[in-house]
Amino acid sequence: MLARANAKIMTISVEDVFEREIQTLDDLRRDILLLTIANADYRIGETHHFKSTMKGVSLSSDEHAKYAVLGHISTLLGARHPQAHGPSALDCNAVSGRIDPHGATIVCSLAETSPSENAETVVRRAVVNADEGKRVLEDWSTIEDPSEDQFVDVHVSQVASILAHAWRLDRSQRMKGELLRNFQLFMIRRARSKILARLDNMINLWGGCPIEIMQDWYKTHPDVVQASTVRFPRLARTASFATLLTEHSLQPLPNRPDDYPISSTNIQSWLEALKDPLTRIVEALGDTTVPPSVQQTKLAHMASYHLFFFLRSNLCQVLQKHGVVEALMDAYGDHDKEAKALKAKKAWKATQGFEIETFQHAQNVDTEEAVREAETVMEAENVDEAGQGWMSLEDSIDREPAYIDEDLDDDASSQPEEDEDAVQHLFRYLQTITAWNTAVVSLMSTRGVLSELNVFILKTFPRIDVTLADIEKPISRYEALLREGLRANYEGAAYGERLGAITARMNDVKRRLRLNEKNVQQGQGTLTWVRDRFRVHAEAALMSLAWSYSEGATQAVDGVDLDTLFPQEGSVIIGVSKKCCWCCHALRQSLEGHLSFVLPGTHAVILPWLPPPGVRESVLVKMREALFGILHARVCKPGSDHPCNPLSPVDDDESSEDVIHSVILRDLDAQDASLSI
């Protein structure tokens, strides 16, 4: 009877649910948006890395280099106004364009969130001035935050101008420590909201500090730690990092400066040392609504490098052998982790009286005077006394909670990828904290001189009319068809049991669409919820525009000739700082032909997704059918669901860039001895 019932139910088609006499492209786009909201956060299939998604596509070494460059530019553009209370168009950006030996023309696509009366695609030139970029680097500590309404344009312009200045220099000039360090310091200052948002998410993800969770586990499992060695990269040989390790009673082996012993007697010290940079970053950046001082920014920069050293060591592999994976998995999967995260933040705040007192005292201390004093006379152990607004991780988060949006790269539901364990997941997550430093080094290591850099900003403003009936009717029709199938195939207790299971799943679908609020203010809550998810993903907008150009449908936008941005055949490389969603990956596959799109893999998660304009009807029909099939299988079949994990940084081999990191670090101890941890 069950098999017969499933067969009956599975005959429901998407056309039966979205029943219309006449169907327009906007109808299809609206249907797809509703289905992605109903399926939001479900992982479909396995994650795919860049290499696996590009099987059959041969990229030259120059194209691989271009892919890395565009991905790192996307990382640098990822910033948010410190006083923003909602998603920024830069949170999910994508970058494409042409790069040749003499110049580059780049287009930055934004996930536009601003309301617009008309559906339109806008391409406009960003202001790029190499001399201004040089000034921004020299005066990084006094550059003010752009106003919220101008944040996107100003940030894109400043990053592009810095790159224009740096890329017109030869590689040896770019590798000078001052240029590299100032670029990193500028980015830490500008991206501070996102840096702290990611630390906030770390607490949310594990229901507390994951490093402290490991510490608690090791207290009851001390015998699992076999004596072994943690090896750091050579560039970790800095006085400040040696001081950090020494403060935690960690000393190198005799005549082996890069090798440190780890055993059951010092495992707690290792974890305290690993946690140290995270605490220092938040202490340094403090309240994100106030630009950090020079001293604070340098402290955050130094702490970021200390974290980088841990991530480049083999500590992750050592911890994997101990069984602590289970503790992280249990904490991550705990249904009460949200409440535990709040409790952990409050508990941490209660123990951080010193930081709070320091913050209050600092209000009466001249910042520049404190910095000058710190740089000249303070000893390393007294650095904490000159703090300017430093706060603990949980204290800062609890005071100014970071904005968390379900479809941004700061997603608090992120899970490990298919091919990694819980320790690897944690270390990969920590890489996102240092992503801006890594991106700067990679971009400065490019070979050659680019005499010209042109940058355009692509904005796709979605506009589709949605009524409450557009949301409610297909769901009601779907429910009626499900009940009809159940009545035809079940009776008695079996019918009631099956009906209860499907009703519970349909209630979840309604909750995701906020249909449980349809009777509140004439359904305004439902409409607002759905309309707020009208967002064309940045990489999808680029793919659609490039495809339209290759098909001859669109030759120019706002007077910008698209032949300066896209080829008519071959590979269109799109740089994104994280993997793309299931829908963008499906669109990439659907548009394959004389153009192939290069994206950084997919996390295979469905996110709210509005198809970009210009996608042909046959593609939209297939995507709608696939999304309905996913929803139907979820409602009618038992099984586990897989929340999302979009937090993969750009895949890149960093070993060739160690020399550039070492340039930045060369004079770090000499210049910033007073800032040592």
Residue 457 and residue 376 share a domain: no
User: What pLDDT is recorded for position 14?
Assistant: 93
Asked if residue 356 has pLDDT above 60, the reply is: no
pLDDT, position 393: 31
| Residue with more model confidence, 548 or 672 | 548
Q: Which amino acid is at 185?
A: L
Q: What is the mean pLDDT of the chain?
A: 82
Res 429: pLDDT: 94
How far is Cα 556 from Cα 563, in angstroms, rounded to an integer? 8
d(CA 411, CA 405): 6
**Candidate from 299-313, 367-381, 528-542, 572-586 with smallest mean pLDDT:** 367-381
Please indicate whether residue 402 or residue 269 has the higher confidence score (pLDDT).
269
pLDDT at 556 over 50: yes
Phi-psi map region of 41: left, alpha, beta (phi>0 left; psi -120 to 50 alpha) = left
Tokens of 595: 């153009």
* Contact assessment for residue 490 and residue 3, using Cβ atoms and an 8 Å cutoff: no
Dihedral (C-alpha) 164, 167, 173, 179: value to the nearest 10 degrees? 50
**One domain, residues 136 and 60:** yes
Residues 470 and 458 in one domain: no
Q: What is the pLDDT of residues 98-132, one digit of tens each?
A: 998 888 999 999 877 655 566 788 899 999 999 99
- Judge if 499 and 560 occupy the same domain: no
Whole-number pLDDT of residue 357: 41
The answer as to whether 619 is a domain residue is no
| pLDDT band for position 53 (cuts 50, 70, 90) | low
Residue 622 is assigned to a structural domain of this protein: no
For residues 210 and 423, what is the distance between their CA atoms, to the nearest angstrom?
A: 10
pLDDT in tens, 395-442: 333 322 222 233 344 443 366 777 889 999 999 999 999 999 999 999
The Cα–Cα gap between 431 and 20 comes to: 49
Q: Are residues 250 and 356 in the same domain?
A: yes
Most confident among 236-240, 371-375, 394-398, 532-536 (mean pLDDT): 236-240
Does pLDDT of 69 surpass 90? yes
In the predicted structure, residue 376 carries a pLDDT above the cut 60: no
**Whether residue 274 sits in one domain with residue 134:** no
Tens of pLDDT, residue by residue over 633-673, are 889 875 434 444 444 444 444 455 665 566 556 656 555 55
Q: In degrees rounded to 5, what are phi and psi of residue 561?
A: -70, 125
Asked if residue 207 and residue 152 are part of one domain, the reply reads no
276 within a domain of the structure (yes/no): yes
Q: Is the pLDDT of residue 373 over 50?
A: no
Is 185 part of a structural domain of the chain?
Answer: no
Give pLDDT tens digits for 608-641: 999 998 899 999 999 999 999 999 988 987 543 4
Give residue 460's pLDDT band: very low, low, confident or very high (50, 70, 90): confident
Regarding whether 527 and 585 lie in a shared domain, the answer is: no
Is the pLDDT reported for residue 503 higher than 70? Answer: yes
Domain that holds residue 84: 52-175+446-463+535-607
3-state helix, strand, coil in the chain (%, to 5): 55, 10, 35
Give yes or no for residue 382 having a pLDDT over 50: no
Same domain, 338 and 398: yes
Residue 386 and residue 317 share a domain: yes
298 falls within a domain: no
**Residues 357, 499 within the same domain:** no
Whether 353 maps to a domain, the answer reads yes
Question: From CA 446, how far away is CA 170, in angstroms rounded?
Answer: 10
Q: Which pLDDT value is given to residue 236? A: 94
Query: Are 544 and 525 contained in the same domain?
Result: no
Structural domain count of the chain: 3
Query: Is the per-residue pLDDT at 84 higher than 90?
Result: no
In this structure, is residue 401 part of a structural domain?
yes
Evaluate whether residue 499 is within a structural domain.
Answer: yes
